Structure 1
Amino acid sequence: MSLEKFAPDFEGAEICPSPNFGPRKDDRAIDMLLLHYTGMDSGEGAQDWLCNEESQVSSHYIVHEDGRVVQMVRETDRAWHAGNSFWKGEEDTNSRSIGVEIVNGGHPASLPDYPESQMAAVVRLCQSILSRHSIPAAHVLAHSDVAPVRKLDPGENFDWKLLAQAGVGHWTEPTAISGGRYFSEGDTGQPIEALQAMFRLYGYRIEVDGVFDAQTKGVVEAFQRHFRPQRVDGVADMSTIDTLHRLLSAVT
């Protein structure tokens, strides 16, 4: 692939061309925006890795802690950022998405906060991307949404509410955590099947078999990280279920 410099799609972005890209399969239209954290010790180290042929990974953009935005792959090209992933019945997430890496040390250490300057830059970048592509609000997603269990980013400290207030993404104020009935790993039966069907309808990869297994727990955790970050425990309590139900009501 050619590594000559290209004009940035986002005004003001620096350019660091990555060799790790290809054509979008079947000229797939872009209808998803995926947000990641870098999970590395430094932003410069993460950027170097994403622009290194040896890594075999890339992203369209990286947003540094000071708000600096660097573009590595043209939006028209297919960056290699999502890996083994799934949303709404499709597995080739890379062919339908724009990927944004956000510099943050991530898990398993204590998840750092995202600085205000960085979040402001993420908002501006996402707004710009949405102005160029027909991406539904419910298709602005976390890496962990499309790859539950395997991925945790951008994590429970990421401010999805701030993005939604700026017109980016799907959000509802999470239902308050309280007592009542809940479901957890090992439970079985029709209520579990109904819960799985709701997650499947929203877009997650999950088997609708009435068994609350490790994959179901991972999907619950991914949902909580994005939409109910006050407690991420993989337990489908009434707060989690009601928040999911209200999100579904807004898109179906």
Structure 2
Amino acid sequence: MGMGMHVAGIQVHSAVPSTTDPQAPIWHASPNYGPRRDGLKPSLIVLHYTAMNSAQEALDRLCDPVHEVSAHYLIGGDGTLWHMVREEDRAWHAGAGEWSGQKDINSRSIGIELDNTGRHPFSDLQMRRLEQLLPQIMHRWSIRPYGVIGHSDMAPGRKFDPGPRFDWLRLERNKLAAPRGQNDGPLDAPMDQFRILAQSAGFSADVDDETLLSAVRLRYRPWATGPLQSADLVPMTARS
């Protein structure tokens, strides 16, 4: 969950259409938001885990003005979907970091929190609800699969969500995240080539080699340990 500054004078209860659709999100307004800066529109979707004991605990924090954190959506482990900040507005979920050389990720993104401690698998009900929500957001804002990222991707070393238990391959198979390269990558593993590939894949934060390797592995090879291997380069050889 990212930090942000409260913007005075903004009405908390944004105009969100009412609906009787049982699949519609539950509107639960958060006061922690502001306008997107410099006329920016969403081009990224950032996925988080809540690292809290329950969805209700996370919902309370995301809607508490004292904590100054929020997200556009929260998905519970049972698939319940809460909508807290209008997509047109800037939620405070990403904090410091960058992706593809661009900063102020809050102004460029939609934030989705997933009720998960980071230590257990994400439920099928939760993943299915995420797979329903992502295409809708991507269609509304013309966001490509490449624009669906984890908090750890844009804040290496500072954030670790959605964590090693998140099923990125499941999203990739459904064209809801950028596909990874397979077995046609480089045979050797020089660090300078790794950094070039990581940069081209979007990992542009100014961090040391070890931190960068950890962030890339968290996304693609969370089980991997030890020094850089050629297998660490392979996933970043295919982008879309």
TM class, shorter-length: 0.7 to 0.9
Equivalent in the alignment of 1:68: 80
Q: Report the TM-score when normalising by structure 1.
A: 0.83
In the TM superposition, residue 157 of structure 1 has moved relative to its aligned partner by 1.1
Equivalent in the alignment of 1:77: 89
Question: How big is each residue's C-alpha offset from its partner over 1:195-234, in whole Å with a ceiling of 9 and x where there is no partner?
Answer: 2122122221345xxxxxx7322222221222223x2436
In the TM superposition, residue 174 of structure 1 has moved relative to its aligned partner by 5.1
In the TM superposition, residue 41 of structure 1 has moved relative to its aligned partner by 1.2
Taking structure 1 as reference, are residues 118 and 234 closer, same or farther at Cα in structure 2, changes over 3 Å only? Answer: farther
- Work out the number of aligned pairs and report it: 226
Question: How big is each residue's C-alpha offset from its partner over 1:34-65, in whole Å with a ceiling of 9 and x where there is no partner?
Answer: 00000011110011000000011100000000
Distance in 2 of aligned mates of 1:8 and 1:168: 26
Equivalent in the alignment of 1:188: none
Question: How big is each residue's C-alpha offset from its partner over 1:76-118, in whole Å with a ceiling of 9 and x where there is no partner?
Answer: 0000000001011111001010000000012xxxx11111101
Moved more, 36-45 or 3-12: 3-12
What fraction of aligned residue pairs are identical, expressed as a percent? 33
Contact 1:8 1:15 in 2 (8 A): no
Amino acid at match of 1:217: E
Q: Say which SS state the counterpart of residue 177 (structure 2) adopts.
A: coil
Distance in 2 of aligned mates of 1:55 and 1:234: 37
What are the residue-to-residue correspondences of 1:4-15 with 2, within 5 Å?
4=13, 6-7=15-16, 12-15=24-27
2:12 to 3, 11, 15: 3
2:53 to 41, 62, 86: 41
Distance in 1 of aligned mates of 2:106 and 2:218: 22
Matched, 1:227 2:227: no
Distance in 1 of aligned mates of 2:225 and 2:15: 44
Q: Say which SS state the counterpart of residue 141 (structure 1) adopts.
A: strand
In the TM superposition, residue 162 of structure 1 has moved relative to its aligned partner by 1.4
Equivalent in the alignment of 2:38: 26
Equivalent in the alignment of 1:205: 204
Contact 1:62 1:100 in 2 (8 A): yes
Q: Report the TM-score when normalising by structure 2.
A: 0.87
In the TM superposition, residue 172 of structure 1 has moved relative to its aligned partner by 2.6
Stretches of 4+ moved more than 6 A in 1?
A: none
Contact 1:145 1:219 in 2 (8 A): no
Amino acid at match of 1:223: V
Q: Say which SS state the counterpart of residue 239 (structure 1) adopts.
A: helix
Question: How big is each residue's C-alpha offset from its partner over 1:65-84, in whole Å with a ceiling of 9 and x where there is no partner?
Answer: 00000000000000000000
Distance in 2 of aligned mates of 1:193 and 1:173: 19
Amino acid at match of 1:196: R
Amino acid at match of 2:11: S
Distance in 2 of aligned mates of 1:205 and 1:234: 22
Q: Say which SS state the counterpart of residue 100 (structure 1) adopts.
A: strand
Any stretches of 5+ residues in structure 1 without a counterpart? 183-190, 208-213
Q: Say which SS state the counterpart of residue 55 (structure 1) adopts.
A: coil
Contact 1:80 1:94 in 2 (8 A): yes
2:157 to 149, 156, 165: 149
Equivalent in the alignment of 1:236: 228
Equivalent in the alignment of 2:4: none
Q: Say which SS state the counterpart of residue 45 (structure 2) adopts.
A: strand
Equivalent in the alignment of 2:99: 87
1:99 to 94, 111, 123: 111
Taking structure 1 as reference, are residues 35 and 234 closer, same or farther at Cα in structure 2, changes over 3 Å only? Answer: farther
Taking structure 1 as reference, are residues 235 and 6 closer, same or farther at Cα in structure 2, changes over 3 Å only? Answer: farther
